[in-house]
Structure 1
């Protein structure tokens, strides 16, 4: 009996372990992208949302495209092959509120995913390079255009709590409720949920905090009047993918300005253009500065990670926006796709080495290497749309440092821009510092003006002066007793009990995890443990029955 029970137990456990491992391995092999389409029209005319998949691997990649209702298509891609899926206006997220219009792409290998929204009759274009879910996070700071700013948050997992802390120069209406600067909008998202927030002004600096990973897109709705209408959109990287070293350079014959956003309080940013260094301080987390660089090449470095966003335009092309990737190591080759919608495209590459391009017929049209920079900027101009381009080091090295973006125009002078690559490395030390800085939740530490001034003056002789403090204040003399009472109340107000913070409270409970693999592991563990107990009980059932009979006879003899 015992041998039969042991055999039954080991057989059941082996089966369940095999099923669990198979499920975990299958899910871990999936590359997932979650996309959304921001509204890009003022009328009911046709909008096309186009998703392009590029296989950068040497092996075949297969996968699925799923929207909020059903499976849209399956694909099999050979190396360097592309697949284009077009959607109609039904996937466009309309209104400031909650809907369910996310688009999910799964594959058994890495993909480069490009998305663009084009409006045929109103001649506008907006696009972005998608970030895979595996590199996304749950803390973001928003960058938008100066007018008609918009945020789109797409749910990746079920039961995800999202908190949006507004920083805006205009009121925001969400679900028919008006919110002002500093307000917090709360929402719970499921997979494919789309939370869109409109403003008539700028939403740059707005913070997004979620309980689980979300995809975040920002830019602005279709603005202006025909023919001067424009629409920009980008996918935002989470804080842990921001960097400390950037080089910015515009496309040829274009001008640009940058929005620089801070990840931590009192971040010092130094920017060098034409060999002249200047600097400024970003006092709070999420604060930003707009720098008008015109046509200059500039090097930006910072004491803490920052986000650098380029706004590009010229006299003939309507505006475009791109998130700059910090300078990053590239191993092997760098691959990108120029959209079929572009008739006049340019790739701008910042690198520390000479470059070799494919197709072989491509040759650099313009290269500049400023002496103060230490990097060269390569402009590949007049590129053909619907083409894959491969970039490798021309010096024979297997790795090189690179950053850059693709910029292009349509036949109607609409323009778009998107990053050449996305930054994926993150420092664990930085993550720990970030968590420490954010552990006070919504409480803000105000820096003394003199401390702020000292940091500014000690950084660089060319630093910009800090803004004057409170010109409208009135002053009076206070007694020592008044000062003591005020100091006591201020200390009480600013003191935070560490046992009341959400960080501490989260240590007392397990965070909910909606991933399929996590649920499968939990159910498998419960079944295995239950089966273990049952098998042990079955193995000894004869002995247990014999024990009860012995006890019964003992009581009977008494």
Structure 2
């Protein structure tokens, strides 16, 4: 398939989105891309792979259909199926919606200017599905990509007759709009993706479930690069949702407040994955270093069809969003909102005239609420005061058709804020570790023998906690005489500098002269006395 830009399109003030559709084993055989003109009265949109052009007017949407054999990635390996949309104006594209009846998912790609070179994967799959990781080349030239499989990766991949497993690295090169997809029955969470230039990264599962076996569903979402991670998140729960958290640095302290209870963790970079059930209406997360949070939503039915999205950190909240519902088949759509308490009621009133009730997020000053999106057209929601955040999710009958983050109405995310975030993360220093700390209001190092990496953590009894502490004491106790500190007490540090050698030599001469003179005097007196006795 060839990709090129239509002639005559002025993109100097526009946006460019590069994305792909990962493998989907659910039905039907098509993918849908939903776009909306959010900022300008009229916006031109070009699909690079087809050269089609569209004029989209404010608050009017267009739904473009890609047939699956042409647009969807299949199996493990490289393909030429990257897709690109180029627009005039500022972020007129709200979301690309992948809808396969109730077994689809929504995802929102980042504009190319927000893409990055360092990513850490979070995703979910079970025994009957494949976890999926896909990378798309962006620049007009070669991009070298490295995939680092952590020491806890439980899968084995066979690529070009070579086997890859835990601790291995996979290298490949992508050119513009080339894709490379990896499939594995093992979870990709903790896998590191590094590239020489910006790439688009997409994660998910071809079909998976949480809970009842009837709940097979497709997951897909754009993976935020490390430059878009943050230290503070507020999530709105739909009920029995799942949250995953991964860190960018070792010894990261993570505090999670939910149901008026705070749980503390200490996790290491990339490989320590926290996974918890959301039992309350909100989930407040703060950390000492930037973290990535994944929110896996589930339907309130025995089928529990899941949906995946990555909520933005508080530092990237906006004061205005474009909220675009899916086609009428997928309804009702609902919006989860996170805002300062004084702003929330006014924001919610832009969705509904009904009285609303919200839930305070402990002592953070934030509150959360879920409202129904009654409008079939695009809604532009604003806050007159503080920035706010949120997500949208839609149903088909009683099942979740998809969820994704809200997209800012205008680009008011200051580049300086993103730059400051990226300078504190040191992404190239990500290491692979296997220790995880997780005890209510306590910090203990938890070995892999007592913590399931991908299972919700449970409360421990006093006896169990005492046994774990004793185990830690046994493992951490060392012989005093075997420590390097003890051995260093008996060895002088070597210093080869000429100045140090000169000072040392001078000191030795000085001490030799002092003690030598004392000895010489004593020897002289001894000889004199002995000579005197001999004469007598």
Structure 2 length-normalised TM: 0.73
Aligned equivalent of 2:306, options 298, 314, 319: 319
Cross-structure match for 1:164:
147
1:199-210 residue pairs with structure 2 within 5 A? 199-210=184-195
Q: Secondary structure at the match of 1:37?
A: coil
Q: Distance in 2 between matches of 1:364 and 1:194?
A: 48
1:216-295 residue pairs with structure 2 within 5 A? 216-223=201-208, 227-251=214-238, 254-295=239-280
Deviations 1:49-80 (A, max 9, x none): 1111111114322120122xx42x21112222
Alignment check: 8 A CA contact 1:357 1:392 kept: no
Q: Does 1:375 align with 2:366?
A: yes
Deviations 1:207-229 (A, max 9, x none): 10011111111011123698532
Q: Does 1:387 align with 2:377?
A: yes
Cross-structure match for 1:98:
78
Q: Does 1:152 align with 2:143?
A: no
Aligned equivalent of 1:413, options 399, 411, 422: 399
Q: Tell which structure's C-alpha radius of gyration is larger.
A: 2
How many residue pairs get aligned? The number is 439
Alignment check: 8 A CA contact 1:150 1:218 kept: yes
Alignment check: 8 A CA contact 1:102 1:194 kept: yes
Q: Distance in 1 between matches of 2:402 and 2:483?
A: 63
Q: Tell me: CA distance 1:463–1:400, structure 2 relative to 1, closer, same or farther (3 Å).
A: same
Cross-structure match for 2:441:
462
Cross-structure match for 2:499:
none
Structure 2: tracts of 5 or more residues without a match: 1-6, 450-470, 490-536
1:53-64 residue pairs with structure 2 within 5 A? 53-64=35-46
Q: Tell me: CA distance 1:177–1:117, structure 2 relative to 1, closer, same or farther (3 Å).
A: farther
Deviations 1:229-251 (A, max 9, x none): 21111101110111111111212
Aligned equivalent of 1:38, options 22, 27, 38: 22
Q: Give how far 1:136 is off.
A: 1.0
Q: Give how far 1:370 is off.
A: 4.3
Cross-structure match for 2:118:
139
Q: Secondary structure at the match of 1:101?
A: coil
Aligned equivalent of 1:52, options 34, 48, 63: 34
Structure 1 length-normalised TM: 0.70
Alignment check: 8 A CA contact 1:54 1:113 kept: yes
Cross-structure match for 2:183:
198
Deviations 1:333-378 (A, max 9, x none): 3211111142222100000113346877554654223453411212
Q: Give how far 1:287 is off.
A: 3.0
Q: Is 232-241 or 307-316 further displaced after alignment?
A: 307-316
Q: Give how far 1:380 is off.
A: 0.8
Alignment check: 8 A CA contact 2:272 2:433 kept: no
Task: Write 1 or 2 for the structure with the bigger share of helix.
Answer: 1
Aligned equivalent of 1:350, options 338, 363, 367: 338
Q: Give how far 1:296 is off.
A: 4.2
Aligned equivalent of 1:82, options 53, 56, 61: 61
Q: Give how far 1:464 is off.
A: 4.2
Alignment check: 8 A CA contact 1:38 1:92 kept: yes
Q: Give how far 1:205 is off.
A: 1.0
Q: Tell me: CA distance 1:258–1:228, structure 2 relative to 1, closer, same or farther (3 Å).
A: closer
